[in-house]
Amino acid sequence: MRHVFQLARKGNLHRKCRIASRAQKFYFRPVKHSGKAVRAAMNLIVFSGLAVLALLAAAYIGEYVSHAVLALSGAVIALWALFVLFTFYFFRDPDPMVPSGANLVVAPGHGKVDTIDTATVEDFIGGECQRISIFLSVFDVHVQNSPVTGRVAYFRHKPGLYLNAMRADSAQFNENVLIGIESIEPPGAKVGVRLIAGLIARRIVPFVADNDPVQRGERISLIQFGSRVDVYLPKSARIKVQLGDRVVGGQSILAELA
* Residues catalogued as catalytic: 227
Residue 199: name the closest of 156, 167, 247 by CA.
Answer: 167
Please, what is the Cα angle at 103 between 100 and 109, to 5 degrees?
75
In this structure, how many other beta carbons lie within 10 angstroms of the beta carbon of residue 175?
21
Distance CA 174, CA 199 (A): 9
The answer for residues whose C-beta is within 8 angstroms of residue 239's C-beta and 6 or more apart is 116, 130, 132, 233, 254, 255
- Asked whether 115 and 142 are in contact (CB, 8 A), the reply is no
CB-count exposure of residue 5 (10 Å: 0-12, 13-18, 19+): middle
